[in-house]
């Protein structure tokens, strides 16, 4: 009788710790947005059409057309939420943005976007002319 009680208690503790370990292992790490800043040499892409392909945890994959190359945006950096909103707005209104890309990749994901900023009026005019040639 005591043996069954000890086995049932041991089983309850085992299940409790198994569930505890499972849920602690499956939690997503929430990073504080906007704390780190990265520095390095960058180049300007000129006016490009952005497409937000995938957002997962702390990384967003962005395609910049007409080159259709995929870059990544680190969501832990300062102003990353503003960049994502600018990309979504540009996609919705079919307008170009300008992007600065780090010349040296920081990870194996490929090239990283340093900054997204709005195009000039001249960029928009050239873009519209290229989209609707007369």
Extents of the domains making up the chain:
1-134
pLDDT of the residue at 58: 87
pLDDT of the residue at 28: 56
Q: Which regions in the chain score pLDDT beneath 50?
A: none
pLDDT of the residue at 130: 78
Q: Is 43:101 a contact under the CB 8 Å cutoff? A: yes
| Domain 1-134, classified CATH 2.40.50.340, yes or no | yes
């Amino acid at each position: 009788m005591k043996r069954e009680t000890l086995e049932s208690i041991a089983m309850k503790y085992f299940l409790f710790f198994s569930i505890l370990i499972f849920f602690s292992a499956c939690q997503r790490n929430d990073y504080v947005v906007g704390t780190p800043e990265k520095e390095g040499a960058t180049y300007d892409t000129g006016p490009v059409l952005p497409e937000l392909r995938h957002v997962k945890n702390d990384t967003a994959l962005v395609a910049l057309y007409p080159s259709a190359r995929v870059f990544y945006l680190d969501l832990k950096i300062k102003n990353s939420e503003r960049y994502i909103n600018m990309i979504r707005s540009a996609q919705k209104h079919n307008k170009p943005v300008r992007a600065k890309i780090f010349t040296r990749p920081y990870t194996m994901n490929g090239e990283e976007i340093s900054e997204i900023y709005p195009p000039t009026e001249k960029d928009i005019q050239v873009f519209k002319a290229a989209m609707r040639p007369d």
